[in-house]
Amino acid sequence: MRTQPSPSRARPKPPRPTARPLLAACLALGLLACDEGSGLSPRGSSGPPASDAGGGAWQGQDGSTGAVDASVGAMDAAVGATDGAVQGPDASTGGSSPDAGTGGSNAGGTDDVYGTAIARDGSYWVDGARLMHGGTELELRGVNWFGLETTERALHGLWSGRKVADFLAQVQSLGFTALRIPVSRDSIRPGYASASWANHDGVDTGREQLEELLGAADAAGLRVLLDIHTCDSAISGGFSGSPEACSGYTLDDWKSDLATLATLAKSHASVVGIDLFNEPHNATWSRWRELVAMGARAVLGANPRILVFVEGVGDLSDAGGYAPFWGENLVAALTAPVDVPRSRLVFAPHVYGPSVYRQPYFSDASFPTNMTGVWDAHFGHVRNAGYPVAIGEFGGRYDTAGSPSDRAWQEALVAYLRTRGIRHSFYWCLNPNSGDTGGILLDDWKTADAGKVDLLHRLWQ
């Protein structure tokens, strides 16, 4: 999840409004129902529905299956065709289908992973800015689904009576091809009980809930990015800010958890990679790149056939003149590169809009056209240099009346990503109980937000 830096930071920013104090109060009361986004109940304002008929094929606002507006509107023009020329060795962004094209003759080769030649056949690997699985090019059209990283150690929404497979079928019907799944040590390691509303047929721990999801994703043909979201399930994702920041959790613990996830991925072909740590804003870029080197070796030492996803930092390092959201700052990624094999490296910044926090540039007279410069400074330059970029989290409110500036921000980001050739992203989130963004699903946990889905279809077209 994403939040703002604490008020102790040098930048004169107030603490995060309303959402996080509610979460803190919830945790203080010892409630298991604390949600990842904020608020006191994970069930949305209407509570859990008594029953569920399941999700059907997506219908757009005009009622036709999959119908979307083919135009991205004025924001494409604002980003500019000349600004959008992707530099580096991978000028082509590939086709529009989720698994488009092949890797050509390179698909049958090998990659050097810390001195060992690893066959590309059966591996996830990077070709320029393209993500590959064997000889197949991938496009990660993803959504985050949280819950396993919380003290409930279960995917939220299962209290509705819907099964994991039912949710995944709906996710696919909406056009998604991938999931980003936040986890914590309690859902990585065996033996930690999951919430009673999720338990069934002997599946009653966080680890078993995770394995059930991965099995269902394997069967459905969905890709999965596993994200170490927090080093303590009692600490909401983003607040720890570093794998070094949790009491009683050591770097050896973190590397062990990374290796455990990487080993688990050997049994689940759906797992495309591991996101090393969520929003490491409490680390400078210098320290984070040291941690990345450790974490990548832990992952690839256990399983060299998957990818390593590396987020940006916060405001403790140069942010290019613009205040970053946690995880967004990749300003130094080219001048002080991380030590990860190029064939396994994916950068995964997080980026948010006014509904999460009103950064100064959201009030600029040129908003939202001014966002091109902000995004280029924070992560766009990495994509322009030929590296793969997958937006690990983005999202927000999307109603014209209540959140007009956030709607404009999301429209601008979609235009920017299309123009820059950034084809991989994970929307935050499936869950309606994210306090400052809402979700793809509404409070009944089955009805899709038509506006958000249409927006994403424009991104994917």
Band of residue 402 on the pLDDT scale cut at 50, 70, 90: confident
- 92 burial via Cβ count (<10 Å: 0-12, 13-18, 19+): exposed
Find the CATH number of the domain harbouring 248. Answer: 3.20.20.80
Best CA proximity match to 345, nearest among 24, 131, 72: 131
Active-site annotation holds for 328: no
Rounded to an integer, the average pLDDT of 157-186 is 98
The answer to whether 328 and 312 have CB atoms below 8 angstroms apart is: yes
Higher pLDDT, 171 or 89: 171
Q: What share of the chain in percent tops pLDDT 70?
A: 77
The single residue of 137, 279, 328, 411 carrying the catalytic annotation is 279
pLDDT digits (tens, 9 = 90+) for 374-389: 999 999 999 999 999 9
Would you say residue 360 has pLDDT above 50?
yes
Does position 95 have pLDDT exceeding 80, yes or no?
A: no
Whether 305 maps to a domain, the answer reads yes
Pick 72 or 216 by higher pLDDT.
Answer: 216
* CB of 315 closer than 8 Å to CB of 9: yes
What's the pLDDT tens digit per position in 309-329?
A: 999 999 999 999 999 999 999
8 Å CB contact between 111 and 117: yes
Give the separation between CA 28 and CA 441, rounded to whole angstroms: 28
Q: 279 catalytic, yes or no?
A: yes
Contact 192, 205 (CB under 8 A): yes
Question: What pLDDT score was predicted for residue 404?
Answer: 85
Does residue 13 lie in a domain region?
no
Kindly tell me if the per-residue pLDDT of 99 is higher than 60. Answer: no
CB atoms within 10 A of CB 156: 30
**pLDDT score recorded for residue 157:** 98
Q: Is 232 inside any structural domain?
A: yes
CB 429 within 8 A of CB 144: yes
Q: Residue 261 has what pLDDT?
A: 98
pLDDT at 65 over 50: no
Is residue 123 within 8 Å of residue 82, measured between CB atoms? no
Give the per-residue pLDDT at 77: 41
Structure tokens at 304: 């060299």
Confidence category of residue 130, pLDDT binned at 50, 70, 90: very high
d(CA 359, CA 380): 19
User: What does the alpha-carbon distance between residue 185 and residue 175 come to, in Å, rounded to a whole number?
Assistant: 31
C-alpha 210 chain-centroid distance: 17
The whole-chain average pLDDT of the chain stands at 82
66 sits in the region (left: phi over 0; alpha: psi -120 to 50; else beta) called left
Residue of 315, 280, 314 whose CA lies nearest to 295: 280
Residue 444 has pLDDT above 90, yes or no: yes
- Set 36, 152, 393, 411: catalytic member: 393
Read off the pLDDT band of 400 (50, 70, 90): confident
Instruction: For residue 1, tell me if it sits in a domain.
Output: no
CA 281, distance to chain mean position in Å, is 16
CB 256 within 8 A of CB 295: no
- CB count, 10 Å around CB of 411? 20
Given a contact cutoff of 8 angstroms between Cβ atoms, the answer to whether 396 and 403 are in contact is: yes
The whole-angstrom distance between residue 260's C-alpha and the CA centroid of its chain comes to: 20
Q: How far is CA 379 from CA 234, 302, 411, in A?
A: 31, 29, 18
Per-residue model confidence (pLDDT) at position 133:
98
Residue 67 pLDDT class (50, 70, 90 cuts): very low
Query: 33 in a domain, yes or no?
Result: no
Closest CA to 315 of 78, 27, 15, 11: 11
Answer yes or no: is 263 within a domain.
yes
How would you write the chain as a 3-class SS string? CCCCCCCCCCCCCCCCCCHHHHHHHHHHCCCCCCCCCCCCCCCCCCCCCCCCCCCCCCECCCCCECCCCCCCCHHHHHHCCCCCCCCCCCCCCCCCCCCCCECHHHHHCEEEECCEEEECCCCEEEECCEEEECCEEECCEEEECCCCCCCCCCCCCHHHCCCHHHHHHHHHHCCCCEEEEEEEHHHHCCCCECCHHHCECCECEHHHHHHHHHHHHHHHCCEEEEEEEECCCCCCCCCCCCCCCCCCCCHHHHHHHHHHHHHHHCCCCCEEEEECCCCCCCCCHHHHHHHHHHHHHHHHHHCCCCEEEECCECCCCCCCCCCCCCCCECCCCCCCCCCCCHHHEEECCECCCCCCCCCHHHHCCCCCCCHHHHHHHHHHHHHHCCCCEEEEEECCCCCCCCCHHHHHHHHHHHHHHHHHCCCEEEECCCCCCCCCCCCCECCCCCCECHHHHHHHHHHHC
Range(s) of the domain holding residue 278: 61-460
Domain count, the chain: 1
Residue 29 vs residues 22, 24, 94: alpha-carbon distances, Å: 11, 9, 50
Look at residue 254 and tell me if it is in a domain. yes
Express each pLDDT in 205-238 by its tens digit: 999 999 999 999 999 999 999 999 999 998 887 7
In a domain, 79, yes or no: yes
For residue 415, the model assigns a pLDDT of 98
Model pTM score: 0.82
pLDDT for 148 equals 98
- 86 is written with which tokens? 């992707």
pLDDT at 347: 99
